[in-house]
A and B are shown apart, each in its own frame.
Chain A
Amino acid sequence: MTQLKHPQILLASNLKDGEVVFLGHNGWERDFRQARIAKSQEEAQTLETIGKADSSANIIVDVYLTDVEITDDGAPRPLHYREKMRIKGPSVRLDLGKQARGAPDELE
C-alpha cells in the first residue's frame, strides 16, 4: 500500500440534474460527509475505477479525485478552495446549493 500525501475523495456531477455527488460506500451521495475516503494509491485507484464505470453507465459525469483532510468528526474536508465551494454552494447565495440543506458552514 502506497500512502497518499493527502487522503482523497471522488466527486462528480450527477448526469440528470448536474448536482455535485461524492462516491460513498453505497453508491453516489449528495452529502460530502458520506464520501468514501482513499488513503492509499490503491484505494484511490479503486475509487477511480468505480467512477469510470459509473461514468460509462451514464450515472455521473466529470468525475475526478480531490485531496482532502480528515476533520475531528471523521468527515473529509477538501483542501482546495474550489472543491470547498463545490461541497457547499455559491458563497454569495447561502440559500442555494447544498449549504441550504444544512451542509456545515466550513467555507472560509
Chain B
Amino acid sequence: MSLNDTNTLSRINSPKTTYQYDEFDKDFIRERVAEFREQVRRRLEGSLTEEEFRPFRLMNGLYLQLHAYMLRVAIPYGTLTSQQMRRLAEIADRWDKGYGHFTTRQNLQYNWPRLIDTPDILEALAEVDMHAIQTSGNCIRNVTADHFAGVAADEIEDPRPTAEFLRQWSSAHPEFSFLPRKFKIAITGATHDRAATLAHDIGLRLVKNASGEIGYCVIIGGGLGRSPFIGKIIREYVPRSALLAYLEAIMRVYNRYGRRDNKYKARIKILVHEKGIETIRAAVEKEFAAMDHTAFQQDPQEFERVAASFTPPPYEILPSESSKLAKARVETPAFDHFVSVNVSEHKIAGYAIVTVSLKPINGIPGDATSHQMRVLADACDRFGFGELRVSHEQNIILPHVKKDDLFALWQTLDAADLATANAGLVSDIISCPGLDYCSLATARSIPIAQAISQRFSDMARQRRIGKLGIKISGCINACGHHHIGAIGVLGLEKKGQESYQITLGGDPGFSASIGEILGPGVSADQVPEVIEHLVDFYLAERHETEAFIDTWRRLGHARFKDVLRREGEDGADI
C-alpha cells in the first residue's frame, strides 16, 4: 500500500473532531459567494464605484495592499481539517503564488489574488466549509481560541464549542455589522492563557463556580494598537446559559456609547478607559437585566449538538511513556531537541501535542508553501486524526500525535523544512507582514525578524536562553502584538527612514502587561545588536530558570535601560 493509499484510508476513517457545516451553514456561504460574484461583476463593468464596492470586498476579506490584493481567509478558532489545508494549498497554487501567510488571528492570507479570481477562490473555499467573511470591517472578527483546545493537560473544558456558538451568533449579526470599530474575541478553557485573552475586546475564560458548574469569566476592554490596554474583568462568572445574552448586552452598550467621531478612539478599550470599568459594568448589567433573554437563552440540546462535533478522536489506550520515543531521542540528538522544545503534554496518556514552527532561521514568520501545507495535511492524516490548528503565534499544531509516532512525524517534517526546534524560543518570532506587503505599515518587520533569528541561529544558545517572546509590528496598529512581547519591536518612520522602537516587559498571559519603551528608536541594522545586549544581560542576571519577563520584573526596567546606556558609552553604536 502506498503512502497515498494510507492517507486516503486515514482520511476516510478520520473522526469528526471539528464542527461540520449543516445545510444552513452551507447555503449561507454559497449565497454569500454568489452575492460577491455579482458585486465583482458590477464593479468590473462599472456600475459600482470603488467607494461603493470597498465595503463589500472588505466584508469578504479582500483588501488592496501594497503590491496586490490580499485575501484573508477565516480559520474559526484556528481549527483546520487536513482536507481544508489541502484546499488552501490548491488555492495558493492555482490563484496565488504558491504560499500563504498564517496570521496572529489564526487566519490565512493570500498576498497576490486578482480581483477577477476572488469569487472562484471563495467558491473553492466554500466547497470545504470555509470563507473569508468578517475577516475585515467593523464587525466581530474571527473568534480565536487556545490552539491546544481540547487536548491541553491544563484544560477545564474545550473552548471550541463555545467559540463555534459565538461564530454562529456573530456571523452576519445585523445589529453588529456596523460597529464603531472592529471587535475581537478570544477564549480559553485552560489555566494557562495561550490565547492572549487579556489583549482582546472581549476575553473569555472557562471557569467553575462554587458549585462546580462551568461558566465564563468575562473580560473586556483589552486591545493593542495605537492605545494598548489590558482587559478588565467585567464579571467573574456568567453561567453558560446566559453567555450570549451577556455578550449581547456588552455589544449593545458598546454599539450605543462607542465613539464614532474618531476611529482611533472607537474601540471598546477606549470606552472602558474613558468611562471606567464600573460605569461600563453598570450599563451592561442594566441592559442585561432589561433585555428579553428569550432569544439568547442557550438551548442545552443545541450546545450538545455543537459540542458533539468536537468529540475527541478514538484514542488508543497507551502507556504514558513510549520506549520507541525514548530510544529515538537517544539515537538522534536533533529529534531529542525537537521533542524538548516543540512537543507539549497531552491530556491523554501516550499522546503528545506537536508544534510545527513556521519560523525557520532566516524564514518569514507564518509563511508556508503549498508543498508544506500538503505535507502538514498528509502528516496529520497519517499521525493526527486529520486535524490541525493554527496558533496566534503563527505556527501549526498537530494536536493528537501518538508518542510512538513522533519520530516518524519529525522525519516527515524535517524533509519539508518544518522541524525547526524553536517553539517559544527567541527565534519563534511573531511578525506582521509589515511594509513588505501591508499598505498601512510604516516600516518593514519581516527583515527584522530574519535578522534576529540569524543573530540567534545557534540553537544550543537559544535553548540556553529559554522561552522568550519577541513580537514585531510594522506599524502602530500592532498586528505583530509587539506590546505584549517580552521584547517588542515597533517599526515606525522617522525623518523618512525606517526606525524601530523597542519595548520590554510585555506579557500575553494571565499576568498580562504592556511593554515599556526602552529608549529612542534605532535603525534596522541595530535591532539585533540591541536585543543581543539585552539577552546577554538577562542571562547574566537571571536566577536559575527564571524567564526573561520575570528577570525584567525583578530587576526593573531601569536596569535594562542602563545596559544600553553603558554599551553606548563603551563605543557600541547604539
Interface residues of A (CB under 8 A from B): 13, 15-20, 55-58, 61-62, 79-82, 85-86, 89-93, 96-97
Contacts and interface: CB of A to CB of B under 8 A. Distances in A.
Interface string B92-129: 00000100000000000000111110000000000000
Most B C-beta atoms less than 10 A away, residue of A56, A89, A97: A97
Contact of A58 (B46, B112, B496): B46
A11 B113 CA distance: 20
B182 to A, nearest CB: 21
Contacts of B68: 13, 17-19
A20 B50 contact: no
B112 A85 contact: no
A75 to B, nearest CB: 20
Interface stretch (B405-413, B442-450, B461-469): B442-450
Contacts of A17: 68-69, 114-116
Given A19-B67, A92-B364, A85 B450 contact: no
A92 B436 contact: yes
Given A86-B67, A92-B446, A18 B114 contact: yes
A90 B115 CA distance: 20
A62 B63 CA distance: 12
Contact of A16 (B44, B67, B444, B496): B44
B36 interface: no
Contacts of A20: 66-67
> Secondary structure at chain A's binding surface: helix, strand, loop or mixed?
loop
Given A18-B115, A58-B44, A81-B497, A13 B444 contact: no
Given A15-B115, A58-B46, 13 more contacts: A13-B64, A15-B50, A16-B114, A18-B114, A55-B50, A61-B64, A81-B496, A81-B498, A85-B436, A90-B437, A91-B447, A92-B444, A96-B112
A26 to B, nearest CB: 22
A61 to B, nearest CB: 5
B64 A85 contact: no
Contacts of A62: 50, 64
Contacts of B66: 20, 82, 85-86
Contacts, number: 73
Contacts of B364: 92-93
Contacts of B450: 92
Contact of A90 (B436, B497, B498): B436
What 9 A-B pairs have minimum CB-CB distances, sorted nearest first?
A: A18-B69, A90-B436, A17-B114, A18-B68, A58-B46, A92-B446, A61-B50, A16-B116, A92-B436
A81 B444 CA distance: 10
Interface in B550-573: none
A16 B498 contact: no
Interface in B491-538: 496-498
B29 interface: no
A58 B49 CA distance: 7
Contact of B44 (A15, A81, A82, A96): A15
Contacts of A85: 66, 435-436
A7 B571 CA distance: 41
Contacts of B435: 81-82, 85
25 contacts: A15-B44, A15-B50, A15-B115, A16-B44, A16-B114, A16-B116, A17-B114, A18-B64, A20-B66, A20-B67, A56-B49, A57-B46, A58-B49, A58-B50, A80-B496, A81-B497, A81-B498, A82-B435, A85-B435, A85-B436, A90-B67, A90-B437, A91-B447, A92-B446, A96-B97
Nearest to B362: A92
A58 B444 CA distance: 31
Contacts of B113: 18
A89 B446 CA distance: 14
A57 B46 CA distance: 7
B67 A89 contact: yes
Nearest to B449: A92
B45 to A, nearest CB: 8
B293 interface: no
B455 interface: no
Interface in B41-62: 43-46, 49-50
A55 B113 CA distance: 20
A62 B444 CA distance: 21
Nearest to A88: B67
Contacts of A89: 67
Given A55-B50, A61-B50, A96-B112, A91 B436 contact: yes
Interface in B148-190: none
Contacts of A56: 49
B317 to A, nearest CB: 47
Nearest to A91: B436
A90 B113 CA distance: 15
Most buried by B among A56, A57, A81: A81
Nearest to B114: A17
B203 to A, nearest CB: 33
A18 B65 CA distance: 8
A16 B115 contact: yes
Which residue of B65, B66, B113, B116 has the most chain A CB atoms within 10 A of its CB atom? B66
Interface string B26-37: 000000000000
